[in-house]
Amino acid sequence: MLFVPHASALRGFVHALMPDFARADDIVQETFLTITKKAAAFEPGTNFLGWACTIARFKVMEAGRKARNSTTLSPDIIESLCACEPESEASDERLRHLAECLKKLAPQSRPAVEMRYQQAHKPAEIAVRLGWTAESVYVALSRARALLRECAARKLAQEAR
């Protein structure tokens, strides 16, 4: 089945357009169901991931219309973002370096990162669980992401040399 080797890239695409992890997971599942239903319409040899992402994009826009909150971007913005979506980067490579990069996180920001990315909690829930203010959770997550992004990029660059 073509879906399996592209599942990770598709999930990454959906997470970019839908930051709510629970809803993003629903959209990936719905996309999978639609792909299964419409499998006969796919022409072998054409871009499967592109086709899957188009289906996922419509699912995200549909979810955004239903929810009408500030989590989802407007449909025209999603369209223009997808029009210039760059080629998928080496996410597997970055995954390999993340374990090492995570060790460099400040001890106080680690629980927030674990709750957000391992347990899929929303920042507001993390604030309650850790007894922090919401703003300190945002700051901790933002700093951690910047540090990890730089660390993974540096390791990839070192490897490429």
Partner 1 sequence: MSVDAARLERLLDRYLDEALTPEEKTELEQTLRAPPQAREMFWQHTRFHGVLREFGAEFRGRELAEERRRWRWNPATRRDGTPIRSLNGRMDEMLVFRRALSAKEVRGLSQSRPQPAAPLP
80 binds partner 1 (CB under 8 A): yes
Stretch that binds partner 1, among 39-47, 57-65, 80-88, 103-111 (CB under 8 A): 80-88
Site string for partner 1, 88-107 (x = CB under 8 A): xx-x--xx--xx--------
Number of residues that bind partner 1 (CB under 8 A): 47
The span from the CA of 2 to the CA of 158, in Å, is: 33
The span from the CA of 113 to the CA of 142, in Å, is: 10
Stretch that binds partner 1, among 15-23, 38-46, 54-62, 103-111 (CB under 8 A): 15-23
The residues in 23-62 that bind partner 1, with binding defined as CB under 8 A, are none
22 binds partner 1 (CB under 8 A): no
64 binds partner 1 (CB under 8 A): no
For the record, the structure tokens of 14 come out as 């959906």
**Shortest Å distance, C-beta 48 to partner 1:** 19
Is residue 13 within 8 Å of residue 56, measured between CB atoms?
A: yes
**Shortest Å distance, C-beta 80 to partner 1:** 7
Helical packing angle, 123-130 and 134-160, nearest 10°: 110
For the record, the structure tokens of 84 come out as 């210039």
Which burial class, exposed, middle or buried, applies to 106 when counting CB atoms under 10 A from its CB (0-12, 13-18, 19+)?
exposed
Q: What angle do CA 97, 151, 127 make, to 5 degrees?
A: 95
Site string for partner 1, 138-157 (x = CB under 8 A): x--xx--xx-xx--x-----
